[in-house]
Structure 1
Amino acid sequence: MGDRTKAYQQVAQGDLVIDNLTVEELPTILEIERGCHSNPWSAGIFEDCFKSTYRLWAARRNGELAGFAVVAYQYDEAHLLNLCVAPAARGLGVARRLLQYLIARSGHDGMQLLLLEVRHSNRPAYRLYCSEGFEQVGVRPDYYPAPNGRENARVMTRPCLL
């Protein structure tokens, strides 16, 4: 059995712990963010998210931060702003488990709808969201910075689960 197969089975069997992200983890958060995005969020943006209207969840493998999600709550809507998995933890099911957790947790917290934007070119993320019940409801033209200008975002939604 290969190392990645074994690691995926560990994640699937519960070696992944999801809990709250802390501001003290900001250096690691930024390292993961820079490894994921061509236009990463700044420390200031993350610091602004440690407020009562946001939920920040950490996915930890063997005690190490493997990924995170940032969700804003407004009225009865949860807006997934950022879901990021460390390069070394990709392909192991971390993003899926984190997404499933935030869907269920948002529903438990009284949110009715989960909304997100995803780069048009990010096919793996788009496929993940579709497989977890999200549907495309629109497009935000020129939403993301791109190497040669701007890139459209797919707007996707799904109901939250209780």
Structure 2
Amino acid sequence: MAEARALSAADLTALCDFQTLCFDPPWSEALLRRQLQKPDGLNLGLYDGGELIAFALCSRLFDEAELLQIAVLPQRRREGLGRRLLEDMMSRLACDGCQRLLLEVRASNAAALSLYRILGMQEDGRRRGYYSSASGTEDALLMSKTFTG
């Protein structure tokens, strides 16, 4: 069974490998290192037998948090791992006094949108032409979830 735990500098190589598999453009090693060192960061990994199979990076400011990245290994998708990881992250944030989680997502990312809606995220707005895509640009949807007492 997969277990969630905080990411550390020891996970940097695995995070860099994830970047090339899951993101275009990928975050640089330097950017990932800075995120892992941030005192306001909540960075969680999901591990199966010691292997990093999913991760989520979050930044906090006062009583709000922003989900910066979430990824699941391509061969492990559709197993509920992203949901489990986000539920864990949201629980930790709420217990730590966070009032709201924010994120942005490509308008075409149907799997992510479905997950976010299942978890109670609401669409707050749209950034037109925010992402580069093969056909030009793509909108980002802004979403949030408010945590209640």
- TM class by shorter chain equals over 0.9
| Post-superposition offset of 1:161 | 5.7
2:129 aligned partner: 142
Q: Percent identity?
A: 33
Name whichever of 72-81 and 33-42 sits farther off: 33-42
Gaps of 5+ in 1: 1-14
Amino acid at match of 1:114: L
Name whichever of 126-135 and 38-47 sits farther off: 38-47
Hey, which bits of structure 1, 4+ residues long, moved more than 3 A? none
Asked if 1:88 corresponds to 2:75, the answer is yes
| Post-superposition offset of 1:149 | 2.6
In the aligned structure 1, how far is the partner of 2:148 from the partner of 2:90? 6
In the aligned structure 1, how far is the partner of 2:17 from the partner of 2:134? 21
**1:44 aligned to which of 16, 30, 45:** 30
Asked if 1:30 corresponds to 2:16, the answer is yes
TM-score (norm 1): 0.86
Amino acid at match of 1:20: A
Q: CA RMSD, aligned part only?
A: 1.3
| Post-superposition offset of 1:160 | 2.8
CA contact (8 A) 1:106 1:161 kept: no
TM-score (norm 2): 0.94
Amino acid at match of 1:104: S
Amino acid at match of 1:42: S
Deviations along 1:9-45, one digit per CA (max 9) or x if unpaired, are xxxxxx1200011112111111112111221111111
1:112 aligned partner: 99
1:19 aligned partner: 5
1:154 aligned partner: 141
Amino acid at match of 2:12: L
